[in-house]
Amino acid sequence: MLSKFKRNKHQQHLAQLPKLSQSVDDVKTLFSPADFREVLLQKIASATRRICIVALYLEQDDAGKAVLTALYQAKQQRPEIEVTVLVDWHRAQRGRIGAAATNTNADWYHRMTEEYPGVDIPVYGVPVNTREALGVLHFKGFIVDDCVIYSGASVNDVYLHQHDKYRYDRYQVICNPQLSDIMYNWMLENLVHGRAVHRLDKLHRPKSPEIKNDIRLFRQELRDASFHFQGNADNEQLAVTPLVGLGKASLLNKTIYHLMPCTEQKLVICTPYFNLPAVLVRNIITLLREGKQVEIIVGDKTANDFYIPEDQPFKIIGALPYLYEINLRRFLSRLQYYVNSGQLIVRLWKDDDNSYHLKGMWVDDEWMLLTGNNLNPRAWRLDLENAILIHDPKQELTAQRDHELDLIRTHTTVVQHYRDLQSIAEYPVKVRKLIRRLRRIRIDRLISRIL
C-alpha cells in the first residue's frame, strides 16, 4: 500500500497544478474521425481571428489537400485572419516509410503558394532533434479563434476517414479563451520563433546538417519551455490544465506519473502501442495490489499502422506490431492472477482493416487526460508532447465520457489469458526469424526505446 505521505504527495501534485475554469457547455466530444473532419473544416471556414494547425504531418492526399485548401480560402476571403501551420521538419521532407523522398509534403506546400499568389500561409517545419528517429513534433491541438480542437490525429486520408479506411483516435472541442491564448502564444514564442524553425513552403530552405547546431540548442530550449499562466479555478470546479513536455523530467511526465496513483476505484488507459515506460508499469502493479481496477485498451497487432498483411511484401518496420504484442503477452503473463480476478482488464481493438491510434487516461470519474502521448519510452524521452488535463470533480462530463468509452470498447475483445495472444513460434516465418535475430544482438531493446 502507498503510505499516507506518498498518497498525499500524488494528490498534492494534481491539486497544485494551475487550472483554468471551464464551462461544461463548451466541451464537446466528437465520436468519429468523419465528425472530426467535418468540424475541423467548419471551424476553419467560420474563423474570424486566427487558425493554427499543428500536427506531426499534413499529408499531400485528399484529406490534406482539403484542409490546406480550406486554409487558403479562409485567408483569401478574410486576409486579416492569422493562419499558421506547424509540422515536423523531418517528416515533411521525406516520403512515407519505405518510399523515396520525391514530391514530398514540403514540395507540395511550396506549390500551393504558387496556386494562391499573394495569400501568405506560412508552413513551419519544427526540428525537435537532428534526426527524426530521435524526436519529432508530437504536440497536438488545432486552435481556431477561442476553440482548441484536440486530437492525437495528424492530417491525412485515414485519420480523417476521407475514403474507406479510418484510423481511430479521440477528438475533443474545448472552447476557452484563456486556454486557446496560452497554447497559441506558447506556439508563437517557442515554435514559430524557435531558432531552428524554418518555413517549408519556401523553395529554398536549409538542409538539416546546415542547422544541426541550432537544432541542438533549440531542443535544449524546448526542454525548459513550459506553459506559464495563473490559474483562475479551484479544485472544486470543472477546469482544464494545458501541459507540455520534452524529456524524461518534464512536467507532463511528472503529471502522468502522479495521476495514476490517485486512482481510488478505476484507471482506464488507452495506448496504440503497448510499450509502457517501466515507471508506469510499476504504478499499475501497485494499484492492482491495492485492490484497484485497471483497464487497458490497446490495438490488436493487425490494427497497428505499421502492420503488413501476410500477403504483402514484408519490410523490417512490419515487425513492430509483433514486438508490441510480445510486450503485452509478457506483461499479462506476470499479472495473470489479476486478469483472473477481474481487476486487470485488457481489451484488444480491431475493426476490419482499420487502425487504432487512441491514447489517454481516465481516473475514476474525476480526471481525464487528453493527449497525443503514446505512453511509451519514445514519448517519455524523445518527442515534444503535450496534453490537456480535465478535472471534473462534480462529474459534469459523465455522459460524454461514458459514451466515448462505450464507443471505444465497441470493437474490442477482452483478453482472458496471456496465451490468447500468439507466441513468437506462431508468427509468420519472416517475422519469427527477424525477431530472433534482433534478440540475439539485443537490438530489440534499442527499438523499444525509439519506436
Catalytic choice (59, 300, 385, 404): 385
CATH superfamily of 239-450: Endonuclease Chain A (3.30.870.10)
Q: What is the pTM of this model?
A: 0.95
Distances (CA, A) of 450 to 136, 202, 413, 446: 11, 31, 28, 7
Q: Where are the domain boundaries for CATH 3.30.870.10 in the chain?
A: 24-223, 239-450
444 is catalytic: no
193 is an active site residue: no
Q: Of the listed 10, 90, 138, 391, which one is catalytic? A: 138
Radius of gyration of the chain (CA): 22
Q: What is the pLDDT along the chain (451 residues), one digit of tens a residue?
A: 445 555 589 999 999 999 999 999 999 999 999 999 999 999 999 999 999 999 999 999 999 999 999 999 999 999 999 999 999 999 999 976 545 556 899 999 999 999 999 999 999 999 999 999 999 999 999 999 999 999 999 999 999 999 999 999 999 999 999 999 999 999 999 999 999 999 999 999 999 999 999 999 999 999 999 999 999 999 999 999 999 999 999 999 999 999 999 999 999 999 999 999 999 999 999 999 999 999 999 999 999 999 999 888 888 888 899 999 999 999 999 999 999 999 999 999 999 999 999 999 999 999 999 999 999 999 999 999 999 999 999 999 999 999 999 999 999 999 999 999 999 999 999 999 888 888 776 665 656 665 5
Choose the catalytic residue: 10, 90, 161, 357: 357
Say how far apart CA 309 and CA 291 lie, in whole Å. Answer: 40
In the residue annotation, 38 being an active-site residue is answered as no
Assess whether 169 carries a catalytic annotation: yes
Catalytic residue among 59, 88, 146, 169: 169
Please state which CATH number belongs to domain 24-223: 3.30.870.10
